[in-house]
Amino acid sequence: MENNNESSKDEFVKVDLKDGTKNSKDFFTSFFQSPITLLKNISKCKNFKLFNVSLIILLIWLVITFIHSLFDYGNLYTGMTHALVIIRDLTIPILSVGFLSLIIHCINPNKDDDYRLTNAVTSVIVCKIPIIFSSFLSLLAIVSTNFYFLLDPITDFCTAISIIFTFFAIKYLYKESEDAKSFKMFLIVEAVFYIVYLFLSFLDIYLI
């Protein structure tokens, strides 16, 4: 009986891992082929498959942030102070995604039965992928500061792409067919986000 239970658990784990791998592959294939279409699909998603993949992306972002904090402040801080700086930096991706998702969710005028907060969270994380990519590339600066002159324009470009993605995410989440209305809602969301940004900056926390 115990052997049967163990074999059933093994089968479940295998199927779960297989499905997870397939979902991740489909997610990234969709992103690189047509990120705008992916954002549209996320806005209509009724399950948690895409959300689960987006959490993996957020985890990758946290790992990159941890490496940055470990090396960037290693010569400035020691001991407990360095540990607190690392903790502060690790909260920035979470707070950035969390606040923007909540703002989008609360302002959304067209919530229906298909819409969930997880749709907003997944969309925001997808919008942050270019920024995560630029953060990953900036790890090169740990090896040599000569890479900085290359990284600055890449960071600016990735930030611009992220903003464009955010516009489309809001457009699809809010189910707005007119670009003018979508742009108006986009400006409102960004304005509220930057008010939060300014408030947290007094606590030395800078949202992305």
What ranges do the domains of the chain cover?
A: 1-33, 38-201
CA distances from 182 to 164, 166, 167 (A): 12, 11, 7
- Rounded Cα distance between 119 and 169, Å, is 10
For residue 98, the one-letter residue type is: G
Q: Tens-of-pLDDT digits for all 208 residues of the chain?
A: 445 444 444 443 344 556 667 778 888 888 999 999 999 999 888 888 889 999 999 999 999 999 988 886 555 556 567 788 888 899 999 999 999 999 999 998 877 766 788 999 999 999 999 999 999 998 887 776 677 777 888 999 999 999 999 999 999 999 988 889 999 999 999 999 999 999 999 988 888 8
pTM given for the model: 0.85
Which position has the token pair 């960037």?
Answer: 72
In contact, 128 and 61? CB cutoff 8 Å: yes
Q: Which of 96, 111, 110 is nearest to 194 (CA)?
A: 96
